[in-house]
Amino acid sequence: METEQASHDAALIEGLRAGEEAAFAELMRLYGAGMLRVAQMYVPSRAIAEDVVQEAWLGVLKGIARFEGRSSLKTWLFRIVANTAKTRGVREARSIPFSSLGGGGADEPAVDPDRFLGDGERYPGHWAVPPQSWAPEGRLLAREAMDVIEREIDRLPPAQRAVITMRDVQGFSSEEVCNALDLTETNQRVLLHRARAKVRNALEEYMR
Amino acid sequence: MRLARELACNEVVELVTAYLEDALPAEDRERFEEHLVFCDGCDRYLEQMRATISATRNVPVGELPPELEERLLEAFRDWRPA
């Protein structure tokens, strides 16, 4: 798997260096939308995020000749986007602390607190309204379920959206996401957990 | 993270991602798994998070807006490979 990825990377890098449009198209198909989502983590508007992607792309072209493959192509690519976006975010006077990236803690529980027994009960914190069965789970494969997930991901705060996109849609490892976005393991996990919990909640609604 | 006592369900649901990422210390992992043995609600929650993750894998990665991709392509064409 690692070597397959590495040789695919190598072919893509060769293609980009040679100016082949097929390599460009492949790169955009794989990572274009993800790049935009990462940019949106750090800047206040979609329009600025699009500018960031363009600026980052010029950086990629400038750097591709010297890219040595110490990290994977995608990690390198997303790092450039994240760094470009951070610089631009500072210029836009919007340097964002992690807490306001939607990473918070107790203020944003995975499950509605009303679904657990209260402090006055015999078993506080235990389920009052436990999750119901999703049988038959085949419904999760329907086009409609995909739409529910996409819609929920679109509604997430930008940092949660970027992390769940990279981890669960694109299949990055946690290490790759932490490297690309300069997040600690813990922060990455909090963002991912919030995002997954909200997508589960949306599916629960749909599966009812 | 260190969990001193028996877990309540509202704590278990917050640990699911850490559990799936294998990021819980051995002792906490044990407590988490013990809880699942007697708690159908949390067991189901964990299974639904797993199902959510695999369903999310099937979501298309999406595309750049065409006019932005066009801008990037132009930059690529203007760029002279060294």
State the average pLDDT over residues A152-180: 95
* pLDDT greater than 80 at residue A167: yes
Pick B4 or A132 by higher pLDDT: A132
Give the number of other Cβ atoms within 10 Å of residue A137's Cβ.
15
ipTM, two decimals, is 0.90
Please report the pLDDT score of residue A104 as a whole number: 46
Q: Residue A145: pLDDT above 80? A: yes
- Asked which of A103-117, A155-169, B47-61 is least confident by mean pLDDT, the reply is A103-117
Question: In the prediction, which pLDDT does A102 show?
Answer: 52
**Exposed/middle/buried for residue A93 (C-beta within 10 Å: 0-12, 13-18, 19+):** exposed
pLDDT tens profile A69-111: 888 999 999 999 999 999 998 777 655 555 455 544 446 899 9
3-state SS, residue B62: coil
Please report the pLDDT score of residue A4 as a whole number.
Answer: 81
Distance CA A101, CA A98 (A): 5
State the greatest distance between any 2 C-alpha atoms of chain A, in Å, as a whole number: 69
Concatenating the DSSP letter of every residue in A174-196 gives HHHHHHHHT--HHHHHHHHHHHH
Quickly tell me which residue has 């000749």 as its tokens. Answer: A65
A-B Cβ pairs (cutoff 8 Å, strict): 150
| Chain B CB contacts of A20 below 8 Å | none
Quote the pLDDT of residue A94: 53
Which chain A residues contact residue B41 at CB under 8 A?
Answer: 126-127, 130-131
Min Cα–Cα distance to chain A from B44, Å? 7
Radius of gyration of chain B (CA): 22
Instruction: List, in sequence order, every residue forming a beta bridge with A116; answer none if it has no partner.
Output: A127
pLDDT-based confidence at residue A3 (cuts at 50, 70, 90): confident
- Give the pLDDT score at A71: 86
Predicted confidence at residue A2, as pLDDT, reads: 59
Among candidate residues A189, A156, A194, A199, the one with its CA nearest the CA of residue B54:
A199
Is the pLDDT at A176 greater than 90? The verdict is yes
DSSP state of A133: P
- The answer on pLDDT for A19 being more than 60 is yes
**Residue-wise pLDDT tens digits, B21-44:** 999 999 999 999 999 999 999 999
**Residue of A18, A31, A116 lying closest to B10 (CB–CB):** A116
pLDDT at residue B20 tops 80: yes
Task: Show the tokens assigned to B51.
Answer: 């199902």
Closest CA to A163 of A182, A135, A139: A182
Among A108, A168, A170, A176, most B C-beta atoms within 10 A, so best to mutate, is A168
Tell me the average pLDDT of chain B. Answer: 92
In this predicted structure, the answer to whether residue B60 has a pLDDT above a threshold of 80 is: yes
* Arithmetic mean of pLDDT, B12-18: 97
Element (H, E) at A39: helix A21-40
- Per-residue pLDDT, averaged over A7-29, amounts to 93
